[in-house]
């Protein structure tokens, strides 16, 4: 089976069903209350009308296999579906040829079905989060940068103290300041948060 379509046989699901039939896809139309068994492989794609997207229906399928069928939706709603892990959304008010093009992409297992605007917004949010996670290494003092280098090499506080000719207590104080400045919780996080610099 190429596609499963869950809906109430009104405009949303029936339009996608007709488009899928035009490209000779194997399609099964299922009512929301019907019980069906699918393999939930990466190749399974299940179209579900937005108003049939209940917890019970969603539990029967991997979110990564679900494409939500909807009439025009906001960018925020589209981003919410993407954040939730759904495979995509289809605006069923689009012309049939555009829907057919999207179905063919799914048949070829090529991509998620989201607008460029939604993908860009999510990517930008991700990048902004990454920037906030990584405090610039320039926020550290010269001595703290030296200690980070030793931590990245796997040295413990006593070994670092010997290399820098300072007391282990002083190294401990520097490590605590590094933890605070980088937002790290432990030495491993210090390494991961400073590795990009």
pLDDT at 42: 47
Geometric angle at alpha carbon 127, from 122 and 130, rounded to 5°: 125
pLDDT at 76: 92
pLDDT tens sequence across 1-60: 578 887 775 667 888 888 888 888 888 877 766 666 555 544 578 888 888 777 666 667
pLDDT tens sequence across 82-113: 988 888 999 888 898 998 888 888 887 767 88
Could you give the maximum distance between any two Cα atoms of the chain, in Å? 77
What 3-state class would DSSP assign to 88?
Answer: strand
* Long-range Cβ contacts of 29-35 (<8 Å, 24+ apart): 29/5, 30/4, 30/5, 30/6, 31/6, 31/7, 32/6, 32/7, 32/8, 32/57
User: What is the phi/psi pair of residue 30, to 5°?
Assistant: -130, 135
């Amino acid at each position: 089976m190429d596609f499963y379509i869950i809906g109430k046989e009104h405009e949303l699901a029936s339009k996608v069903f007709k488009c899928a039939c035009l490209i000779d896809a194997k399609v099964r139309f299922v009512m929301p209350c019907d019980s069906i068994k699918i393999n939930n492989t990466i190749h399974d794609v299940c179209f579900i009308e937005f108003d049939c997207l209940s917890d019970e229906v969603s539990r029967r399928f991997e979110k990564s296999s679900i494409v939500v069928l909807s009439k025009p939706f906001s960018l925020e709603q589209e981003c919410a579906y993407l954040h939730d892990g759904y495979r995509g959304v289809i605006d069923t008010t689009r012309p049939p040829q555009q829907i057919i093009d999207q179905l063919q992409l799914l048949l070829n297992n090529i991509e998620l079905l989201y607008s460029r605007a939604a993908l860009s917004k999510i990517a930008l949010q991700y990048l902004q989060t990454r920037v906030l996670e990584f405090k610039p290494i320039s926020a550290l003092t010269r001595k703290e940068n030296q200690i980070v280098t030793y931590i990245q090499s796997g040295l413990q506080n006593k070994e670092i103290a010997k290399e820098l000719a300072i007391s282990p207590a002083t190294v401990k104080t520097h490590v605590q300041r590094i933890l605070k400045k980088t937002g790290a919780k432990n030495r491993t996080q210090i390494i991961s948060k400073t590795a990009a610099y």
